[in-house]
Structure formats: structure tokens, C-alpha cells
Amino acid sequence: MADVQTTNQSILVVGGGISGITTALEAAEAGYDVVLLEKNPYLGGRVTQLHQYFPKLCPPSCGLEINFKRLKANPRIRFFTMAEVAGISGKEGDYDVKVKISPRYVNEKCTGCGKCAEACTAEVDNPFNYGMDKIKAAYLPHGFAFPMRYVLDPSIVGTDDGKKCKDACQYDAIDLDMKETSFDLKAGAIVWATGWNPYDAAKVEYYGFGENKNVITNVMMERMASMNGPTGGKIVRPSDGKEIKNIAFIQCAGSRDENHLAYCSGICCVASLKQTRYIREQYPDCEVTVFFIDIRALDRLEDFYTMVKEDQKVKFIKSKIATITEDGATGNLVLEGENTNTGEQIKATFDMVVLATGMAPNSIKSVCSADVSCDEYGFIANDPAKAGIYGAGCARRPTDVASSVQDATSSALRAIQSIARR
Amino acid sequence: MDKNIGIYICTGCGIGDMLDCDPIAEMASDEYSVSICKNHPFLCGAEGVDLIKKDIEGEGVNTIIIAACSPRVNYDVFDFGQDKIIERVNFREHVAWSQAEKDENTQMLAEDYIKMACAKIGRTDLPEPFKAEEEYSKDILVVGGGVAGMTAALETAKAGYNAILVEKDPKLGGFLAKMKKNVTLPYKDISDTGAEAMIKAVSDNPKIKVYTSAAVEKISGGPGIFSVEIKANGNSATERAGAIVQATGWVPYDANKLGHLGYGKFKNVITNVEMEEMAAAGKITRPSDGKDVKNVLFIQCAGSRDPEHLPYCSSSCCLVSMKQATYVKEQNPEAVNYILYKDIRTVGQSEDFYRKAQMDGNVFIRGSVEEVGESGGNLYVSANDELLGEKIKIEELDLVVLAVGMVPRSLPAEIPKIKAPSDSKEADADGMIEVKPDSGFFATSALNLAYRQGPELPTLKYGFPDSHFICFPYETRRTGIYSAGCIRRPMEVGKAKDDATGAAMKAIQCIEATSIGMAVHPRAGDISYPEFNMSRCTQCKRCTEECPFGAINEDEKGNPLPSPTRCRRCGTCMGACPERIISFKNYSVGMIGDMLKAVSVPEEDEEKPRVIVFVCENDAYPAVDMAGIKKMNWSPYVRFVPVRCLGSIALVWVADALARGIDGLLFMGCRHGDDYQCHFVKGSELANTRLSKVSETLDRLSLESDRVKFIEVGITDCDKVPAIISEFMETIESVGPNPYKGW
Amino acid sequence: MAGNYDPSFAKEVFDNVDSGEEIKMCMQCGICAGSCPLRHEMDYPPRQIFTLIRAGRRDEVMNSKAIKLCTSCYRCKVRCPRGIPVIDVMHGLAHYGIKKGIIPRKGTAAFGGEFWKMIYNIGRIDEKTLPLKYNLLEGLVPGIKSTIEMAPMGIQMFLHHRMKLLPERKIKGIKELRKMLDKAKEMGKGGAN
Amino acid sequence: MKYFLYGGCSLEAGGKNYMVSLEPVCKALGMEFEEIEDWNCCGASISYAGANELSIMTLNARNIAIAESTGGYDIVAPCSSCYIQLVKTNHELKEDAELRNKINVILKEGNLNFKGSLNVRHLMDVLYNDGGIDKIKSTAVRPLKGLKVAGYVGCQTVRPYGEYDSVERPKVHDLLLKAIGADPVPFPKKMQCCGSGIFLTELDRCLGLVKEILDDAIANGAQLISTVCPMCALNLEMYQDKVNAKFGTNFNMPVVYLTQLMAVAFGMDLKKEAALDYCVIPPEGIIKAAIGG
């Protein structure tokens, strides 16, 4: 890692999701040197875990493939996976950044042949599928993983399994002695594109996420619908693998709620609308109910809402559901709340419930001693008086992919300006 | 260049277990006179790479065939410099990992892939970047001097580039300058618009040249070499520009169409734009009598989200009405604002402003208007209050403000018509047909491009020249011309500024790439470009019609006039040309044709059919790779041929292949239709259209049409790939062997 | 027939009802009603009460059962996404209704009134005499009847040492407490009357 | 550890068994109590019918102010109704300077001043966080092995701020029951309101609430119900006859205070300290069976 030559003409992009990749590419394709850091073992971030984008219902890997191709073709970008920022100091045009690299236990000799996974017997919760299934402790994070290189879970280092993996590798790619390393780099501008985490649904306690087995979150639904998800793309009840006849979506499960996320997460309405399509495509007879406060489908996304509303099997009820109770015998879920259009009290049974949980930003504050402003929610404020560090995408505001990419593109120019000013 | 070929076969990752390398080397030596053919158990390892490097240095190898893993991996390891021709043969994913057993068929498959690679490099030259004769301009033309346009110009200047700003009005500022206040991040309160400061910053900036009371009369050329004719205050000027940002903004939806809401009937029914102008001018009063206002009702979605008017949501009207309610309260704290809405759409942190508006005591009513009327000189509104579950009436209203939506300024008042093609069924009595929004002839005058495919940016459904792509919001159908702000999509001021900054980024990037002969997205960095052998041109105009990016003009005679800086290198023109006169240095009809010829076709009695599968290299190819990674199996009789885009396929390939005894051809392309996924817009659709016309050829050859099939394959369809292949193989089996085998 | 919107009642509530102005923040999600243990007993769910206030329906609000039915479980308050202390609003409305004489001093209103009187008089609650006083408010005969109905419970409590034999005495600082409470009444929202 | 104890009106009467048992139990855990001098009623949930918010707040501010003037310990309220009134007043006065000023104008009438220097805590909070599970376990020399208890938390016990336990899915009560060897049963209705202060006046409506709670306890196999609030204890225990009469049910479920169970587990006298004879529906038989006596 010592060969990372950077200067105050370099742009550092933190976060290798769709926003970070975009910022890096846009700047590099205009002729600037970029270092891109990603904490996961692969690039692509949260969108790699989505089944399809709204409103086109197209797969995220399609655009990622193009972006990876651009990245492969561009020598100005250097990227590091399993890398996190440990500290930022300095000022616009002259930042010092400490980068921490977690051990992957697999070096660059890995060909992706998969022999280590074949040899490994231990299994761990699959983080890519939000723990809904298990994966070998020597694993390729997912089929489209870029770079296509295996990872060893730290739990098998120092065990028989670790040794089995090492022995199985014909290319000497397994390095069980790998340690966390760090290196320093310089940057003239920093774009913080660390994206978001799904808000912890268990915190919205009255929905019983974690206890009620058939209550899942919207991000879990994405994995379930996905071909490379835990169920091979088939949407079924987690408790018993049964098909779905009657499903509910609960909007604002944490968002627009001063007890949780006071802001609106911006995307959950259309995300749920999209997920109603997943359901309806798999189950021509399934009843779908969307419980909402306001449906927020901006600009042309309204067309998508209109299209979903035309589906007679999809009902919309204005209500913030108050309670979910699990029927122990069937695993069915009883939802209670008020239909605020009619004033009636709802008591309805569903076989599965999807919580539209919101976006919580991965904030910069904990690692940055340089001057940067965040709003009260932890989103970067992009204060013009504090140029040099710029938030992009969901690190700046909760928003959808198209807007994130738009924002990431503008961040690339802001970073270039920071360098041009010096 | 004199090609000195080296073939390097990796036997790692299970390849060696499935193939015998020696016969491959023998074949290469015999048939293609390749003298260097080596194998290595770990070619991507340091030793393997060294092996190749030594041959480059020692033996002068400059054309390298690497038969190993997919070209999608180890791209950096097998990069031996721009001056080498590198051809990757996918022995791992497409052979070793996806074939059932080591047998004669697998061996023949591998040998065919080597033959195809040899044939391909035989027709490959190192591309040289295009360089226009004129000097490249690095200035950016910004059309529209509102908030988006001013931002684009300022951000361009801040990055060190010059901008030329053209504004139709005598004064810069657009709607921003007409606003009293703004609402933006952090959405806690209303704030100054900053319009005057921005106008001053633009006017004072030495890097920005401003034309007011001006219009763009004509733009010709292409990225790096645009020539712009501007008419300003009656004078004409010509500027040169490298890229263009179109930020021509929006107009409010015509409230005269909202008679049912009382507009035009009652003086005190006004639009949100009129409200803003009144507030900015000073005091908000009743237009009817100039008296003070106390009770104001805002009707949200006045026209928006209405299939009769604007089916889409105009995004910013909720915030705008809340802002204007604040004006009313500031003027008279006792005033009452009613906001009649469908859904409150304050996304992200702007929910905070909704909270503020509630805190201020504004009355939000979810429901729909039944009637706007007048009684005793005041307005009343009857509505259906959804949450009260009743019909309500709000009386004594001084003002009713219609929150009208945004319409792209370039939306034509009436859909223009052009002469219909002779075979059109939709033509009217005069033989005319309505122009579709995605045509360059749809939008009204903003750029006046001297392009064969129309003077304006093609638009989406409602007239917004936005990107069709989620991942690539700055994707444009006219290279080097980017739209920004509300012309693109309804958006609030803060977002328009971000958007304009992004557009400036893309414009700068396009200029930089163009100046060194590189393509922009999606083939960013590609330096190859199509060359036209004009002597054989028959002026059929197919290339000029089909280019998705309007890169080819034509002269009066119908000869194509390619503009390489506008070109995106998809090869659609190459596929369109029946005379095969268009080719790239490293991609041509002849090249693929030779690859097809290289496939060995066994005799009929061997019962080994041969099928060619053309795959889009962005989507279908990775899907096939993925199927290989998952160790799924498919027939050893298929040969994959990656293409830049299915739009580049030439029908002659079908004819040639079938004539040689190939039993079938399968085309795997992206989804087309309204939600098309083709990154070159129409490639996959064009391929499908072309193939539908192939039946003539098949008839001429007395062949079954089942032998040629187009199928949509998305990048995540890897699980379907083997089934698609099996099904096609069954079809081929049922129609029997191609009778032309052995001719 | 369309009901007319009248903002004057909302203003009355904002100015006079404890926590009344908080209802401005309601976005009509309905979680308050869904969370209420007596939701099936209420004529109007809380958020509907808020809508009625905004519409100016004074009679419907002040005569509603809903504002008298709060068990004070606080679930609506802890869950309200807009941080509205729904329970405090409901209490405030009930208090206001009683104060204005709109809500008759029966049932909870009467009981609460007696409860408060006792606090004002002695500073504490005497669990033994409070129900008696409440029952007697209904009139002598029904009062005695109710008291007799309650008697077995009282006897049980008594037998199990859970009833104080002596009447509760005034706290020492009762004079000062009364002065404070008088002041609080005066300084409270909407004033003493 | 020393605390102010605010027992409130109920603990002197209907909730006497709570007071009798909590004192020796807390002492065994090393806690010492000082009564707030000349305390007054908290106002409970029902005073709103007779007084405005500020008046009710005044009641509680006076109690806190008296405590502040006499010592620096946390105020412990065993009664959930008292707890919520005190904690709310304390919290709001600490947060809101304007309100604090107002209250201090009022308190001045009695020469008192609210400073905001103390914490108000529920007894359960103190048992769990200061007593501690380990200490309780080791003190429980006579664990209530296998006693199936429905740990009824009630609504006000943890609300509105959830300072020591979740306002929706509290765990502390069950953990304390476990610590004394009992077996807390799953009890989804553990947070359902029992009707609290409007019980008497809305009897018909509230009996239904009690029935649901009792049904849930029985369905989950509970032998008795444990509570930490005199209002809950009263409503759940004393009205079982009326529930039976109204719904034709046959409930006879003992209701005890958690501290009574703790006293038993701590090896204390079943009458004198655990006050089991104070219960109207006798729990002795069930409890004795559990401790093998």
C-alpha cells in the first residue's frame, strides 16, 4: 500500500457506491487523479443489493457494468476496497488523510476460481443478504462482485477451516497473516459519498421486527426478489417458505418520525410501489395493501404511482399502522391502526409485512477534524463557506439513484474547483 | 502495423483440466502461421505475465491473444500498453466452467475461439484518435440565464473554463430574479434568493461572456468545434464552443386551462407565479380591489397530477405554497392560509419546512376542489375534505392561489407534424404524421442545431429533454449538449443549482475527452471512430437516419457527413450500411465476417450443429459470464460473438453464416420499448427490426426463419442463458441441419 | 350540504387549551387512535378531533366522548411522529370543557373534580372517602346505591389492611400549597376562567 | 445508596402491601430511603378534570423543590402514576426555561424554588440499575423456582421517556422476575393499559381492558400477575368479580407486587414483610408451592 502516490492535486472520494464511483469517474474522465476508497470488499455499494431500479425496473448491475468498464479503462483512478478513512485533517487544497485497510486474507493473486470456498466448511451469516442466509466463510461477496476476488471471514483465521482454504488455493492467494494496515495520503479535495444505512427497524418497536418473523424490511425485500438473493428470487414468507397471498407495506417505518428520523427518506414510497410490482409479477392473485401517510412520487415518478394504482389488487390506505401482532400458530400478522380516510379502526391479517425503513447517513463527523458542517441529522451540509469537503448522494440528503448520480457529478466539479483554486 | 502474434493459454482455474493445449498450438501454427503459442498454469500471476513480457521484448510480439479468463477480469494484469493489440479469449467462463466434460466438442469449441480470435486480429488495427481540422474550443455555451444557466456558467468559470451565456430576456435571473424568497437546504426557513448577487457575479466574471435579449440562431459542428450564431439586440455574433448546457427552464402551466378552478373568471384567483411576483413587488393584496388579504387558500396540484392537464408531479409546488403562506403570515400574523392538497411531498430534509408551515398555523386540508366561487365580493371554495369525510366550504377568501406546475419551456404548443413515411399507417389526410417526443424535431426553438436529425434535443414523454437512464442522468442523445435545471425535470432551486453544476462537469469532461479524440460515455476513453469509404456510398441515408446521436449530417445529395466528435462509437451506422462502407480500425463488418468464417462447420453426418450467438458486450456478455461463474452448462455447439451494440449487426453476417452451413443465429440484446435498456438508445430495437426483414434472405436461401432469433437478455438473466440456448438448440434440431453445409 | 370552515375555534383552542397549539403539527397519520386502548369506544379518533378543531366544529369536539375517555396510558404521546402530546391535548380539552361548563360534571369529570378538590383541601387523596364523595355527587339515592355496590370491595380492602382507618389529615404546608395552586390557576393557559 | 422516597397516597392505603414489602427488600439491597417532607399528592392522571396543566405541575414541582432543599438524592417513586407525574414535571422544567421561571414564580408563594438538580426514578429502575441483577440473584436465597408469573408492566411505568426501559417492549420486569428464580411468561398485553384513573368512572369500558389482560396472562400459563403500580394492582385484582359478572368468566388470578415476590425470594416473612395476606385473592398457596414450603 506504500505505493500510493498522491498530491494536493488528487481528489479523494470516500465511498465506492454509485455516488462515489460516479464522482471518481467524472473527475478522472476530465483528467484528474482520483483515489477511491470503499469499506466493503467490493465496489458498488448499496445498489448492488437492489433487485431493480424504479421506475424502469431495470437491474442496477447494468449501469454498474458500464461504470466498472469506465473504471477499468481509466488509469487515473486508483481504488481500494476494505478501506476506511481513519482521520482527516488539513484544509481545502491540502488535506492529510489516514486510511485504514482491513485484512481480506486474500491477496491479489486470487483468480476467483472458488477452490477456497469449496474447501471451507464453516458458514457465516451472509451480510450481502442481510443475514437472511448463510455463506461459506471463504466467499465471493456476490456474483457480480468487482473486483472478483474472494474474502475470508476473520472468524476462520487461525482455525482448521482457514488452513483448509489456504491449502486448497493453487495460487498462493490466501494470506492468513494479513493484518490491518494503514497509509496516509494527500488530497486537494474530498468527496464524502459514504451513502446510507437502512434505519434499524427494530427501533420501531411496535412493529416487532426481529421477533415477528414475517416482518421484513424493504432492503430485505430487494434481496428476496433478486436472483442472487437468499431465495433465488422467489418471494416467500421467511417463517415457513410459503407463498404469499396477502402482503402489507408500511410506509414511514421510522421516517418522518421525530422519535426516529424526523426527515422524509425520499425514496421509500416509490421503492414500495416498485416492490408491489415484484410481488404482483410473482403472484397474480396476491393482495397488496400499502399503508401510507402521503405518497411521495415526485416528477415523472408519478406515472409509476398511477400505473400501480391501476392494479386492482393493490390497495392504498392512508394510515400509520400502530401495532403488529404475530399469530403464533400461523405466523400471520395482525395489523391495527386507523384508516384516516374513513375513521375506521383497521384490524387486518396479512401473511407478510414489509417495513419501508428509511435512510440513515454514514456521517463524516467521527473521523474528520477538518472543518466541515453537517446538519442535525448527520448529512453533510455543503456549506459554501467551508469548501474542500463535499457530500455527494445520500451522504448529503436521502435521495434516489438518479439524483445521487446527478449530485455526485456536481461534486466532481466542486472537487475540481477546489484543486483549480490552489 | 506488422503483426507479430503470440498466443498465451492459461491452464489454471480448471482450463487445463478441460482442454489439450498442444493441438491448439498446432492448429494456430498450421492455419494462422502463429509461431509463438505458449501455455502457463497461472498466466495472471507474476511469472505468467513475465512470460508474455519477455516475448514482447525478446520476440517482438505486438499482437497478443490471451486465452484465459473473461476480459472482464484481469484487465489491468494483461495491459501491455496502447501500442499492442490485445485479444482476450474467454476459455474460463465460456469454456472450462460451462462445459460438461472434457471431450472432442469442448476441444473444438476452444479451437474455434482461437480461430475466431486469429481472424479478428487479422482485421484489427490500432486505432488512432480523431483530430478535427479546426482548433478545439474549450469554452462552454450556456443557453438560458436563469438559476440553472447562471450556475452552469459560474461553476464552469470556477473550474477555469470560459462560458458564453445566452439569455433571451434583457436581464439575467429568470424566475429566480422574480422570486421574493427561496426555500432550500436546510429547509428551516425561507431565505434570500441571492439572485442579484448571482447576476452580479456572472456579469463581473471575466470568464463569462453574457448575451442578453439574445437567442441562439444556429449551432453547427460538434463537441469541441461548435459554431454558434447568436442574435442579440438585433446584432449577430458568432461564437465557438466546445460543449453546450441547455438551461432554458420552464413556463408555468397555462392557468387559462384551469377555468374550473376559477382562473380567468375571478380576479382574486391567481397562480403561484403571479403570487410570487406580487409578493416580490411589495405587498400581497386582492387584485380585485387592492385591499388587504386575510384569508388565502392554496390549491395544490392545480393541473399537476391530473391526466387532463399535467400527469406528472411538479415537485416543488408544495414547498412553494408553504413559502408563500409564510409571506402572507409575515404580512399579517392574523391571516389564515388554507392549503388544499392531494399529498404533501416534502421529501428529504424539506420535511422540516412542512413542519415549520404547520407550526405557523397554516391549515392543511387533504382533499379535492369541488367548486371555486364568489359571494359578496369574496371567494369561496367547496371541497371534499378527505380526512373530515365531508364536503366543506371555506368562505370569505381574499385570494385563491393555484399551485400550477412546471412545463418545459421548449414544449411545443402544438405537436409538430412531419411528412409521414410512405408505409406509415398513422399518417393524416395530408400524409403528415405527428412528431414523437424523442425526435429532434419535437421541441421548440432553443438550440437550432444544424443537425440532420432535428434542431433540438430529443425529449421524453412530457417534453423534458431528460436522460432516459437512472444510472446516467446526464446521458444525452446529442453528444456534448447537456440539459440542466427545470428544462430537464421539474425541480426546486437548490436542486437546479446542483444539476447545473453537474451539467457543467459533463460539458467540461466532454471537451477534455474530445480534445484528445476520446469518446464520452458510455464508451468513455474509446479512441476508435467510424470511417466512411465514400466511394461506395449509395446515398441510401440509412446511417444518417439511424444514428441514435444525430452524429451524421448529409449533404443535398444524401451523402453522409459524419461528425466524429459527436460520435459515440456504437457502430449503429456500421450495421445500418448495406454497402459495408463504414468501419472502425478495430471493429468492422469484415472483421466479424471473418470471425464467422473461422468457425469450423462439421459435416452434416457428424451431427454437430453450429450456432452463433451475438451478444451485447455490456449486458448479455456479462450475463453469460455469470452463468459460467455459476458453473452452469450449455451446448458446446454455440459460439459467442460479442458486439459493441446489437445496433451494429450487419445483415450480411446472417447471410454469410447461413451460406457457410451455420445452423442458427441467436441475437442477445437489451430490452427495448418504452423502458429500453440499450445504452445506445435504439441498438437492440434496430437489430430486431433488421432481423425481422431477414426472412427475405432466408426465403431466398430456402431456409427456415426459426434459424434466426432475437431475444432480450438482461445482465441479471444469467440463470436464463443456458435455458435460452437449450431451447434454441432444440429448435435447430427440429428444423434439421443447414443444407448448405459443405458447399 | 357543505360544512363551513371556521378558524375561530382553532384559535380558541390554541389560546385557551393546555397543549392546544400542539395540534398544528398533526399530519393525520392516525397512529394515535390505533394505539389507544379505548379506540373502539371513541366517537372520534384523536386525529379526527384535531381535524374538527381545524374545521371549527366546536360542538362536535366539546361534546365528544373521545376527549373524556383518556386512560392516560401515554402510548399516543410516545408514538406520535410529530411529537404531539396527544394525551395532554385530550386532557386539556376535557379540562377546558369542564371549566366552560360544556362538559357536565358527571362521571370522570365529576370524579376528577372531587379528586382535585380534595388535593386543594388537604394536599393528599384519601382513597376511602374519595369514591364516597364521587358517588354522592350523583345524588343521594343513586349515590348510596353505588356506594353499596362498591361496599364489598371496600370491605375486602379493609380486611386486608389496605384501607387507612383514620381520615387523611391536611399536609402541614396546605396554606402555601393553596396559594401556589391559586397562582397556577391564574397563570395557566386561558387564565383562571 | 440513599434516596428520597415518594410513596404517594396509594402506598399508604390501597397499595399498602407494596410499601410494606418494598422497604425490607430495598434495605436488603443496601438502599436507604428518606421521605420527602410534607409531600403532597402528585395529582395522578385524573386531576386534569379539576385543574390546568400548570396547577398539576405545581404539585409535582413542590415535591421536587422540597426534596431539593433537603438533600441531593434521586427521588424514587414506586407508584407508576406518581412516577410519570414527577418525571414529566422534572423533565419539562429542566428543558424549558420559560416554564421553569413560571413555576418558580408560583413556588415562591411557598418560598420554594425548583432548581432541577435531582433525578426522578421509578422503583423498578432503581431495583434493576442500582440493586442490580447479580445482587438480587445472590440475595434471593429462596428462589421462586418455576413460578409462572405474568410480569405486568402497565403503561405509565416506563413512559413517557423510556429512561430505563423500552416504552414499547420493556424487559426489566421480566429480568427482575428471572433474577428471583421465577419464570416470566410471554405476555403481549403487559403494556396494555388497565384503565387507570378512569376505571371507576368508565367501569363498563375498562372491565373489557382488564379482561383482555387477564385472558392473555392465563393463555400464556401464568399462575399469578406481578405489578409495580398500585393503580394496576387495584384494577386487576379488585375488579375480577365484576369482570366475571360482566363476561361470565371465572377469573381468580392473584395479583401481587414485584416487591412482594422479591421479599419471598429474599427469605423474608411471608406476612410481615412480603405482606401476602394483604392480597384479596390469596397467592400464598401458589407461592408456597414454588418455594417448596
DSSP assignment of B591-604, as one string? HHHHHHHHS----G
Q: Which distant-in-sequence residues (6+ apart) come within 8 Å of B345 by Cβ? A: A294, A296, A297, A298, B313, B315, B318
In a domain, D131, yes or no: no
In a domain, D134, yes or no: no
In a domain, A5, yes or no: no
Q: Please write the tens of the pLDDT for every residue from C93-143.
A: 999 999 999 999 888 899 999 999 999 999 999 888 888 788 877 777 777
Same domain flag for A229 and A329 = yes
Instruction: Please report, as a single letter, which amino acid is at residue B447.
Output: L
Same domain flag for D154 and D116 = no
CATH number of B587-743: 3.40.50
Of the residues A306, A336, A359, the one at which a domain ends: A359
Q: Is residue B210 within 8 Å of residue B172, measured between CB atoms?
A: yes
- Cβ distance C75 to D196 less than 8 Å, yes or no, reads no
The domain that holds A225 is classified in CATH as: 3.50.50.60
- Cβ distance B471 to A64 less than 8 Å, yes or no, reads yes
Nearest Cα to A52, choosing from A364, A410, A401? Answer: A401
Contact present, B and D (at least 3 Cβ pairs less than 8 Å): no
Q: Whole-angstrom Cα distance, residue B395 to residue B374?
A: 9
Mutation target vs C (from D35, D53, D242, D279; most C CBs, 10 A cutoff):
D53
How large is the C-alpha radius of gyration of chain A? 23
In a domain, A165, yes or no: no
Same domain flag for D102 and D188 = no
In a domain, A410, yes or no: yes
SS3 at position C96: helix
In a domain, D283, yes or no: no
| B363–chain C Cβ distance below 8 A for any pair | yes
| Predicted pLDDT of residue A3 | 64
Same domain flag for A210 and A291 = yes
Same domain flag for A343 and A212 = yes
The beta-carbon neighbor of C180 closest among D41, D62, D162 is D62
In a domain, A167, yes or no: no
The beta-carbon neighbor of A148 closest among B73, B158, B473 is B73
Restricting to A residues 257-276, those with a Cβ less than 8 Å away from any Cβ of C are 257-260
| Predicted pLDDT of residue B420 | 86
| pLDDT greater than 80 at residue A377 | yes
Same domain flag for A119 and A229 = no
Q: Whole-angstrom Cα distance, residue B348 to residue B351?
A: 6
Distance from CA of A86 to the nearest CA of B (A): 28
Same domain flag for A268 and A249 = yes
| pLDDT greater than 80 at residue D197 | no
Mean pLDDT estimate for chain D: 95
| pLDDT greater than 50 at residue A2 | no
Restricting to C residues 4-63, those with a Cβ less than 8 Å away from any Cβ of D are 18-19, 37-38, 41
Nearest chain A residue to C43, by CA = A343
- Cβ distance D169 to A325 less than 8 Å, yes or no, reads no
The domain that holds D175 is classified in CATH as: 3.40.50.11810
- Cβ distance B13 to A406 less than 8 Å, yes or no, reads no
- Cβ distance A257 to C33 less than 8 Å, yes or no, reads no
Q: How many domains does one find in chain D? A: 2
Contacts of A80 in chain B (CB under 8 A): none
Distance from CA of D167 to the nearest CA of A (A): 9
Q: Please write the tens of the pLDDT for every residue from B646-677.
A: 999 999 999 999 999 999 999 999 999 889 99
10 Å Cβ neighbour count for C191?
A: 11
Q: Please write the tens of the pLDDT for every residue from B474-527.
A: 999 999 999 999 999 999 999 999 999 999 999 999 999 999 999 999 999 999
* Angle between helix B272-281 and B317-331 (nearest 10): 40
Interface partners of chain A (CB pairs < 8 Å, 3 or more) are: B, C, D
Same domain flag for A122 and A257 = no
Nearest chain B residue to A299, by CA = B313
Q: Is residue B229 within 8 Å of residue B216, measured between CB atoms?
A: yes
Contacts of D169 in chain A (CB under 8 A): 205, 208
pLDDT classification of C2: cutoffs 50, 70, 90:
low
| pLDDT greater than 90 at residue A201 | yes
The beta-carbon neighbor of A111 closest among B69, B461, B679 is B69
Q: In the CATH hierarchy, which fold is given to the domain comprising B140-249+410-515?
A: FAD/NAD(P)-binding domain (3.50.50)
- Cβ distance A31 to B343 less than 8 Å, yes or no, reads no
- Cβ distance C82 to B382 less than 8 Å, yes or no, reads no
Q: Please write the tens of the pLDDT for every residue from B332-378.
A: 999 999 999 999 999 999 999 999 999 999 999 999 999 999 999 99
Mean pLDDT of the region B114-122: 97
**DSSP state for residue B94 in the 8-state scheme:** I
Same domain flag for A274 and A406 = no
Q: In the CATH hierarchy, which fold is given to the domain comprising B531-583?
A: Alpha-Beta Plaits (3.30.70)
Q: Please write the tens of the pLDDT for every residue from D133-171.
A: 999 999 999 999 999 999 999 999 999 999 999 999 999
Mutation target vs D (from A205, A258, A259; most D CBs, 10 A cutoff):
A205
| pLDDT greater than 70 at residue B743 | no
Instruction: Determine which of A71-75, A80-84, A363-367, B26-30 has the lowest per-residue pLDDT on average.
Output: A363-367
pLDDT classification of C193: cutoffs 50, 70, 90:
low
Q: Please write the tens of the pLDDT for every residue from A89-118.
A: 999 999 999 999 999 999 999 999 999 999
Mean pLDDT estimate for chain A: 96
May I ask the CATH class of domain B252-405?
alpha beta
Range of the domain at D45: 2-123
| Predicted pLDDT of residue B16 | 95
Q: Please write the tens of the pLDDT for every residue from A381-391.
A: 999 889 999 99
- Cβ distance D169 to A205 less than 8 Å, yes or no, reads yes
| pLDDT greater than 80 at residue A4 | no
- Cβ distance A413 to B504 less than 8 Å, yes or no, reads yes
Tell me which residue has cell 445472590.
D138
Same domain flag for D108 and D44 = yes
- Cβ distance B390 to C51 less than 8 Å, yes or no, reads no
Range of the domain at A25: 11-102+180-195+362-421
pLDDT classification of D293: cutoffs 50, 70, 90:
low
Q: Whole-angstrom Cα distance, residue B33 to residue A196?
A: 57
Query: What percent of chain B stands above pLDDT 70?
Result: 100
| pLDDT greater than 90 at residue C47 | yes
The beta-carbon neighbor of D13 closest among C18, C72, C163 is C163
Same domain flag for A66 and A207 = no
Same domain flag for D112 and D178 = no
| Predicted pLDDT of residue B426 | 84
In a domain, D211, yes or no: yes
Same domain flag for A142 and A256 = no
Distance from CA of A163 to the nearest CA of B (A): 20
Q: Decide whether B140-249+410-515 matches B252-405 in CATH topology.
A: yes
Q: Please write the tens of the pLDDT for every residue from B131-168.
A: 999 999 999 999 999 999 999 999 999 999 999 999 99
User: Is residue B118 classed exposed, middle or buried when 0-12, 13-18 and 19+ CB atoms within 10 A define those classes?
Assistant: buried
The predicted model scores a pTM of 0.96
Q: How many domains does one find in chain A? A: 3
**Cα dist from A192 to A25, A98, A374, B232, whole Å:** 15, 14, 12, 43
What burial letters (b/e) apply to B561-596, b meaning 16+ CB within 10 Å?
ebbbbbbbbbbbbbbbbeeebbbbbbbbbebbbbbb
Same domain flag for A287 and A247 = yes
What residues form DSSP beta bridges with B231?
Answer: B215, B236
Q: Whole-angstrom Cα distance, residue D148 to residue B32?
A: 86
Residues in chain C: 193
Contact present, C and A (at least 3 Cβ pairs less than 8 Å): yes
Instruction: Please report, as a single letter, which amino acid is at residue B706.
Output: D
- Cβ distance C5 to B358 less than 8 Å, yes or no, reads no
Contacts of A254 in chain D (CB under 8 A): none
CATH number of B1-126: 3.40.50.960
Q: Could you tell me the three cell numbers for B462?
A: 412530457
- Cβ distance C4 to B391 less than 8 Å, yes or no, reads no
Same domain flag for A210 and A340 = yes
Q: Could you tell me the three cell numbers for A390?
A: 463535499
**Cα dist from A124 to A113, A120, A131, whole Å:** 20, 11, 9
Same domain flag for D75 and D185 = no
Q: Is residue A353 within 8 Å of residue A333, measured between CB atoms?
A: yes
Of the residues A359, A376, A408, the one at which a domain ends: A359
The beta-carbon neighbor of B525 closest among A63, A73, A303 is A73
- Cα–chain center distance at C123: 19
Distance from CA of C144 to the nearest CA of B (A): 44
- Cβ distance D205 to C176 less than 8 Å, yes or no, reads no
Residue ranges of the domains in chain B?
1-126, 140-249+410-515, 252-405, 531-583, 587-743
In a domain, D129, yes or no: no
Peptide bond into B522 cis (omega under 30): yes
**Cα dist from A376 to A180, B290, B360, B428, whole Å:** 33, 43, 21, 60
| pLDDT greater than 50 at residue D227 | yes
| C100–chain D Cβ distance below 8 A for any pair | no
| C153–chain A Cβ distance below 8 A for any pair | no
- Cβ distance A205 to D188 less than 8 Å, yes or no, reads no
Mean pLDDT of the region B529-548: 96
| Predicted pLDDT of residue B156 | 98
pLDDT classification of D195: cutoffs 50, 70, 90:
confident
The beta-carbon neighbor of C25 closest among B336, B359, B392 is B359
Q: Whole-angstrom Cα distance, residue B55 to residue B61?
A: 6
Same domain flag for A267 and A382 = no
| pLDDT greater than 50 at residue A1 | no
Interface partners of chain B (CB pairs < 8 Å, 3 or more) are: A, C
Query: What percent of chain B stands above pLDDT 90?
Result: 93
Distance from CA of A62 to the nearest CA of B (A): 6
| Predicted pLDDT of residue C1 | 43
Q: Please write the tens of the pLDDT for every residue from C13-28.
A: 999 999 999 999 999 9
Kind plus residue range of the DSSP H or E element containing B429: none
Contact present, D and C (at least 3 Cβ pairs less than 8 Å): yes
The domain that holds D30 is classified in CATH as: 1.20.1050.140
pLDDT classification of D13: cutoffs 50, 70, 90:
confident
Q: Please write the tens of the pLDDT for every residue from B232-269.
A: 999 999 999 999 999 999 999 999 999 999 999 999 99
In a domain, D190, yes or no: yes
For C148, what's the count of Cα atoms within 13 Å in the CB-facing half-sphere?
6
Interface partners of chain D (CB pairs < 8 Å, 3 or more) are: A, C
- Cβ distance A206 to C35 less than 8 Å, yes or no, reads yes
pLDDT classification of C170: cutoffs 50, 70, 90:
very high
